Copies of this chain bind each other. A is one copy, B any other.
Amino acid sequence: MTTADRLVLYDLYGAYGGLIDAVDWPGWLDLFAATCRYQVVPRENYDQGLPAALIFCDSRAMLEDRIMALREANKYNIHWDRHVIGLPRVIGDEAGEISVEAAFAVYQSDQEGGSRLFATGLYRDRIVREAGGFKFRDKTIMLDTFAVPSLLATPL
């Protein structure tokens, strides 16, 4: 992977968090490959190889449906997200797919202006090159935090 490509990869992660926080769903969906998978798995299940995911979408259309449903739910739980994502770490790069991991923390702020930690975890992603740059082929979100009251009102 060239140095320039590495920075394009960093941009993908900057955009991933930035677009969720800016509530720009079309822009966010565009970060995924046409054929893609998105899932949120509690760490314990992940470690034990259990298949049960909190969210599982195996196409961009399904992911889009999910986002629309979340938008509806959010009308009754108004808050703002803020993603702080650590440096992406390239784990593998072969057969046209790049494996990347990045730690994240998501904070939520309510309308009274209070902020709190919402969730932490690890992105474990497979990324492909498409027209327009790198895209997520498979985004597996290994979630440390799964006991939160308003869980998953927005994507992680």
What's the Cα separation between A121 and B105 when bound, in Å? 13
Q: How many copies does the complex hold?
A: 3
**Do A7 and B3 touch across chains, with their CB atoms under 8 A apart?**
yes
What is the size category of the interface that chain A forms with chain B? 35 or more
A39 vs chain B, min Cβ distance (A): 17
What's the Cα separation between A6 and B11 when bound, in Å? 11
Residues 73-103 of A, flagged 1 when their CB comes within 8 A of B and 0 if not, give 0000000101111111110000000000111
A117 vs chain B, min Cβ distance (A): 6
A positions within 8 Å CB-CB of B: 3-4, 6-7, 10-11, 13-15, 17-18, 21, 42-44, 80, 82-90, 101-105, 107, 109, 111-117, 119-122, 144-148
